[in-house]
Structure 1
Amino acid sequence: MRVRLTLALYDRPGVLLKALQQIAVNGGNIISIIHRRDRITSGYVPVSINVEFPDSASLERAKAGIEDSGIPVIEAETLEKTITTMIMIGHVDVETLLKRIHELGSKVAALSLIGGPTSPCLKVVAEAPSGKLRPLLEELEKLAEEWDALLITEG
């Protein structure tokens, strides 16, 4: 699982190393580190670390180890996304569809419209944050029913 950990590091040598050791000991693979030196507050630098963990238990152990080292974990945000392809056949309000996808925290990776005015077919490739795919599909099913359109999803 991919996660962005945001830590409040005291601005002195060796503090980041303590956090990185806890990540490594718990099976984390560091993808990137961003120091926000422009946002230093009371001697603390916000640092975002993108990490790949084997599972949520490893993440929780790393967070506990970091906090036990005296480093506050400000946020732990899951970065995993599910990509799904959907086809809507029928007359669709594209603007409303895109707005609804965005409101549900997802984004459109690709969009294509085929067919003519009598038989339009909209293909949407959407990226949904982990755990938010089901609510997205349920909402799109409601829209399809409202528009008297057919929604086809993968899986």
Structure 2
Amino acid sequence: MIVNAELYVKDLPGQLVGSLEPISIVDGNILGVVHNRERIVNHRICINITFEVEEDQLERLKGIWKSKDVIISKIGSAHETYTMDYMLIGDIDARYIERLINKASTIADLEAVDVRYSSKATDYSKRTGILSVKTKSKDDLDKLDEFLDMECRKSGMTYVRGV
């Protein structure tokens, strides 16, 4: 499983390494570390770590950190997302995009959607919209692709995947 943890360690030499080493002890794999020296609470520095570890080893890791006087502020599983950008060209406005996203969210589990569209064109048939979408699974991304393709064909719009 992929885990994200926010830890606080004493502001002393060697504490960063001491907080990372237990991850390798439980056969984990570090994916990213942010050592935030500007976030200091009670003479402790914040460290944000993203790592992979077997679920049954997570409690062992927490115990090691506790024995090393590492404070676990937050810990939770992180999940991979699948991102795709879509360009829609045609008769679109904010209401159309809102309805499209609402309908799409009943078909696929959308983690996040960022929308941009040109609103200055006086000819609605020439407006362009960009949808940047994140889903939690490849299957949901495939469902979204099928849905957008079908909706754009019905509406007579041009649809470009992977802009």
Amino acid at match of 1:115: R
Q: Which amino acid aligns with 1:2?
A: I
When the two chains are superposed, the root-mean-square deviation of aligned CA atoms in Å is: 3.7
Whole-angstrom distance in 1 between the partners of 2:45 and 2:110: 28
TM-score (norm 1): 0.58
Please state if 1:115 is matched with 2:115: no
Relative to structure 1, the CA distance from residue 96 to residue 20 in structure 2 (aligned partners, 3 Å threshold; closer, same or farther) is same
CA offset digits 1:107-130 (Å, max 9, x no partner)? 233663431239x9x9xxxxxxxx
Distance 1:5 1:61 in 2: 14
- Taking the aligned partners of 1:74 and 1:100, their CA distance within structure 2 comes to 35
Q: Residue 94 in 1 paired to residue 100 in 2? A: yes
The amino acid of 2:38's aligned partner reads: D
1:42: how far off? 2.0
What SS class does the counterpart of residue 13 from structure 2 fall into?
Answer: coil
Deviation at 1:72, TM superposition (A): 0.8
User: Does the CA contact (< 8 Å) of 2:9 and 2:69 recur in 1?
Assistant: no
Post-superposition shift, 1:18?
2.1
Separation (CA, whole Å) in 2 of partners of 1:27 and 1:97: 43
State the Cα deviation string for residues 45-103 of structure 1 (Å, max 9, x = none): 110011111x21112211111112111111112112365xxxxxxxx9214346789xx
Q: Note the C-alpha offset of 1:33.
A: 1.0
Matches within 5 A, 1:1-155: 1-53=1-53, 55-81=54-80, 93-97=99-103, 106-107=111-112, 108-109=133-134, 112-113=148-149, 114-117=152-155
Output the CA distance in 1 between the equivalents of 2:61 and 2:29: 12
- Name the CA distance, whole Å, in 1 between partners of 2:104 and 2:10: 43
- Matched residue type, 2:51: V
Question: What SS does the corresponding residue of 1:93 show, helix, strand or coil?
Answer: helix
Q: Distance in 2 between matches of 1:57 and 1:30?
A: 17
Flag the 1:105–1:93 CA change in 2: closer, same or farther, 3 A. closer
Find the aligned partners of 1:8 and 1:100 in 2 and give their Cα distance: 40
What percentage of residue pairs aligned between the two structures are identical?
23
CA distance in 2, matches of 1:67, 1:105: 37
Distance 1:116 1:60 in 2: 52
Could you say which residue in structure 1 is the equivalent of 2:121? Answer: none
Unaligned residue ranges in structure 1 (runs of 5+): 84-91, 123-155
Question: Runs in 1 of length 4+ with deviation above 6 angstroms?
Answer: 98-101
Max Rg structure? 2
